[in-house]
Amino acid sequence: MAEPELVDVVVLGLGVGGEEVAGRLAEAGLTVVGVERDLVGGECPYWGCVPSKMMIRAANAVAEARRVDGLAGTAQVTPEWAPVAKRIREEATDDWDDRVAVQRFTDKGGRFVRGSGRIDGPGRVRVGDQVFQARHGIVLGTGTRPSVPPVDGLAETPYWTNRAAIEVEELPASLLVLGGGAIGLELAQVFARFGVRVTVVEALDRVLAVEEPESSEAAAAALRADGVEIHTGVKAARVEHGAGGFTLRGTEGEEFTAERLLVVTGRRAHLDELGLDTVGVDASGRYLPVNDRLHVTDGIWAVGDVTGEGAFTHVAMYQASIVVADVLDHVRRADGGADPSGTASVVGGAVGSASSLAATGSSGAAGSVPRADYRALPRVTFTDPEIGAVGLTEQQARERGINVQVGFTRLSSSARGWIHRTDEVGFIKLVADADQGVLIGATSAGPAGGEVLSALVVAVHAAVPLTQLRHMIYAYPTFHRAISDALRNLGR
Ligand SMILES: Cc1cc2nc3c(=O)[nH]c(=O)nc-3n(C[C@H](O)[C@H](O)[C@H](O)COP(=O)(O)OP(=O)(O)OC[C@H]3O[C@@H](n4cnc5c(N)ncnc54)[C@H](O)[C@@H]3O)c2cc1C
């Protein structure tokens, strides 16, 4: 067995969260080994957020051009997929090559190891023949993979997950999308706008089921307007694939056919691969439970999708800043004793200087590491209209026994919505805690729903009193001005 190599920290998985933690700890002067088996950067830049939003940008341009009719004359649009695929290949992903990302990490002083790593006892990580002993800790940023339902026959077919859908160079004539969550709807709308005959099949009784029912209605209406067929309440029983493409059969005898099948029914962490048993951590759950400083257990932190706290890049980045601060705090305590001023340099050569620690932006002082707080977790479904949401839905708030007040307004009844004309489904919905006099949740659906959301995120995050929200000035005629109408309607 190879002699373990002593380092400060090992980061397993260099997706969004792991890369951020590893890079910042290396910049702080720690000896950091970053292990990645696939591409540094993870799902978001290569098969997730970035390329999917490039596709959406292109599809929205097509849709906007089609709106010229009736507003500004006539326009003929001939959508072509080739420029979209080229942009994804060349600009977003470097043809799915991570050389730039690897160098970004090594330029910060990190040591990169390509391979699949697993924990091999306390503080120890094994990657093939290499074994590292981490003096200060291990950070797990191993993300998730698509969760494919156990539908009869499915595993034997060449179904797509998000990766094939993002990499596609030539569009199929027709596409079945199994799963009506955010990713399924975003991709369904894109492909429909490029002329693919798209059918969405969802097991629950509405698409976008984790959001407000009004959001589900808005998304479904918008997609149907783009020609997407939506079938809810359909439980997939069997999938077949042959020369004619895919056939999906539901438990009630429903039948859908298409050239391609995209399965987007959620994602799951693969904890069983991480060697957690060697450190006494239960690996049987769907995700890795963490506390509010992202500790899994002594000397092990987790970050990003693997924690199950929200499968979003902004959650991974938010958690990463807490992990960085906490690891550095831990290093100070371990090497120099608690140092409330945060100015002591770490002994043992692990940290070069006090200023390098300060440069990480961590608060420095022991005990002042920020705690994770997900009350104001924002999420945006980038359909057109965009559907942004923060905090609790009305139903979640009622289930918690909160004295709920709801305020609702349609964008079409606001000046900007009326001027815009093309948005019939946009709305603002506010969920307030009437006893506390603050917003605890909100949804903003509309042409810039994700941007309008920012004001609502601040309101929920900072618990801005409703009285203050009612007495501030909202620019006319913006989409966000509809927030003041929804506030007026609270409790009505
Ligand atoms: C189609 C799609 C669209 C999305 N759009 C958005 C969006 O618009 N906005 C948003 O906020 N989020 C979006 N997301 C979610 C976002 O991509 C994830 O939340 C984010 O990538 C999570 O980062 P992570 O670091 O936790 O994990 P990942 O990005 O999954 O990275 C984990 C990395 O760990 C590596 N790894 C795993 N196990 C090991 C091991 N044992 N050894 C070595 N390496 C390992 C993997 O290869 C992977 O590179 C989207 C996701 C998809 C699929």
- Distance from Cα 18 to the centre of ligand 1, integer Å: 10
Q: Label residues 198-216 b or e (16+ Cβ within 10 Å = b).
A: bbbbbbbebbbeebbebbb
What tens digit of pLDDT does each residue of 9-54 get?
A: 999 999 999 999 999 999 999 999 999 999 999 999 999 999 999 9
Q: What is the pLDDT, as a whole number, of residue 335? A: 80
**Which atom of ligand 1 lies nearest, measured to the CA of 273?**
41
Question: What mean pLDDT is predicted for residues 387-399?
Answer: 98
| Residue in this structure with the two tokens 């984790």, named with its chain if needed | 210
Distance, in Å, from the CA atom of 472 to the CA atom of 406, rounded to the nearest integer, reads 19
pLDDT of residue 131: 98
pLDDT in the model for residue 492: 83
For residues 395-423, average pLDDT: 94
**Residue whose CB lies within 8 A of the most ligand 1 atoms, among 57, 294, 313, for a mutation test:** 313
Give the residue-averaged pLDDT of 334-345. 51
pLDDT of residue 394: 98
For ligand 1, say whether the CB of 184 is within 6 Å of any of its atoms.
Answer: no
Query: What is the per-residue pLDDT for 337?
Result: 63
Least confident of 75-79, 233-237, 340-344: 340-344
pLDDT at 354: 31
Give distance in angstroms: CA of 306 to centre of ligand 1: 9
Whether pLDDT at 392 is above 70: yes
Does residue 265 register a pLDDT over 50? yes
Q: Which residue's CA lies nearest to atom 6 of ligand 1?
A: 49
Task: Write the residue with the smallest CA distance to atom 7 of ligand 1.
Answer: 49
Note the pLDDT tens digit of each residue in 136-171: 999 999 999 999 999 999 999 999 999 999 999 999
User: Which has more pLDDT, 492 or 388?
Assistant: 388
Find the mean pLDDT for residues 376-388.
98
Q: Residue 491's pLDDT is what? A: 87
- Ligand 1 atom closest to the Cα of residue 307 is 26
pLDDT at 241 over 60: yes
- 62-99 pLDDT, tens digit per residue, is 999 999 998 999 999 999 999 999 999 999 999 999 99
Residue 456: which of 405, 408, 389, 398 has the closest Cα?
A: 389
Residue 222 has pLDDT above 50, yes or no: yes
Q: In angstroms, what is the span from residue 436 Cα to ligand 1's centroid?
A: 37
- Portion of the chain with pLDDT greater than 70, in percent: 93
CA of 118 to the centre of ligand 1 (A): 18
What CA–CA distance (Å, rounded) separates 437 from 448? 27
Q: Is the pLDDT of residue 366 over 90?
A: no
Residue 1: the pLDDT is 61
Q: pLDDT per residue over 180-196, tens digit each?
A: 999 999 999 999 999 99
Q: What pLDDT was estimated at residue 360? A: 38
pLDDT digits (tens, 9 = 90+) for 276-297: 999 999 999 999 999 999 999 9
Q: Which atom of ligand 1 is nearest to the CA of 17?
A: 25
pLDDT digits 0-9 by tens, 442-458: 999 999 999 999 999 99
Distance, in Å, from the CA atom of 139 to the CA atom of 13, rounded to the nearest integer, reads: 9
Task: Check pocket membership of 19 for ligand 1, CB cut-off 6 A.
Answer: no
CA of 43 to the centre of ligand 1 (A): 4
What is the pLDDT confidence band of residue 367, given thresholds at 50, 70 and 90? low
Mean pLDDT over the full length of the chain: 93
Average pLDDT, integer, range 354-362: 36
